[in-house]
């Protein structure tokens, strides 16, 4: 446990978000808890992560989420590891929300995008067709995000452009399409 690498998660604390300032100390090695010397609050090492308040080994959660990310069926994971299906789905939901938060914090913040290219993909799924529109920053090859829709229409394009707009510095955007029937 290294208190120099964490910050106080209490949003009301004046030292919230400050890393390496000496305001965090170790409260308990056994329980893996830190203490903020400014506000006096204690918090778990896993606060703000997917593993917060889980009573399962982090290695197992990482393996299960990785298998889900690679398309392994939930039923196969349940059978292989002896887990409950609701537990696996809960871990998938938690990790998805956490990844979305990290993406919003790191990628969807205003910066100079330069040129952005967008495209959509038609995917067959069980019970129908799904369209996914995605945008990428050309210079850095950074995926800015994607949106899903059951139809290829203007709503799909507008939703994607709003994601791109959210990542810009507020400058004007030139939006060009090639073969957009909507």
Q: How far apart are CA 125 and CA 122, in angstroms?
A: 10
Q: Do 122 and 157 sit in the same domain of this protein?
A: yes
pLDDT band, very low/low/confident/very high, at 181 (cuts 50, 70, 90): low
Q: How far apart are CA 93 and CA 90, in angstroms?
A: 5
pLDDT of the residue at 16:
82
pLDDT band, very low/low/confident/very high, at 1 (cuts 50, 70, 90): confident
In a domain, 89, yes or no: yes
In a domain, 10, yes or no: yes
Q: What is the mean pLDDT of residues 146-169?
A: 88
Q: Do 120 and 99 sit in the same domain of this protein?
A: no
In a domain, 51, yes or no: no
Per-residue pLDDT tens over the stretch 35-90? 988 888 889 888 888 898 888 898 999 999 999 999 999 999 999 999 999 999 99
pLDDT band, very low/low/confident/very high, at 96 (cuts 50, 70, 90): very high
pLDDT band, very low/low/confident/very high, at 95 (cuts 50, 70, 90): very high
In sign, the C-alpha dihedral spanning 57, 59, 62, 65 is: negative
Specify the DSSP class assigned to residue 108: S
pLDDT of the residue at 141:
87
In a domain, 177, yes or no: no
In a domain, 111, yes or no: no
> For the chain, what is the domain count?
3
- Asked whether the predicted pLDDT for residue 168 surpasses 80, the reply is yes
pLDDT of the residue at 182:
60
Range of the domain at 151: 116-166
In a domain, 173, yes or no: no
Q: What is the mean pLDDT of residues 83-105?
A: 91
Q: Do 34 and 73 sit in the same domain of this protein?
A: no
Q: What are phi and psi of 136, to 5 degrees?
A: -135, 140
Q: Do 99 and 136 sit in the same domain of this protein?
A: no
Q: Do 99 and 72 sit in the same domain of this protein?
A: yes
In a domain, 82, yes or no: yes
């Amino acid at each position: 446990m290294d208190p120099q690498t964490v910050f106080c998660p209490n949003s009301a604390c004046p030292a919230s978000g400050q890393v390496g300032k000496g305001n965090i100390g170790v409260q308990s090695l056994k329980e893996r808890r830190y203490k903020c010397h400014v506000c006096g609050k204690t918090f778990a090492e896993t606060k703000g992560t997917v593993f917060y308040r889980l009573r399962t080994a982090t290695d197992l959660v990482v393996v299960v989420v990785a298998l889900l990310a690679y398309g392994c069926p939930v039923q196969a994971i349940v059978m292989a590891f002896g887990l409950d299906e609701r537990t696996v789905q809960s871990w998938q939901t938690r990790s998805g929300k956490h990844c979305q938060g990290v993406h919003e914090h790191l990628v969807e913040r205003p910066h100079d995008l330069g040129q952005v290219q967008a495209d959509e993909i038609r995917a067959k799924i069980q019970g129908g067709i799904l369209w996914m529109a995605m945008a990428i920053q050309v210079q850095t090859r950074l995926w800015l995000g994607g949106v899903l829709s059951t139809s290829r229409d203007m709503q799909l394009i507008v939703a994607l452009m709003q994601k791109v707009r959210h990542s810009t510095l507020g400058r004007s955007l030139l939006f060009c399409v090639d073969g957009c029937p909507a």
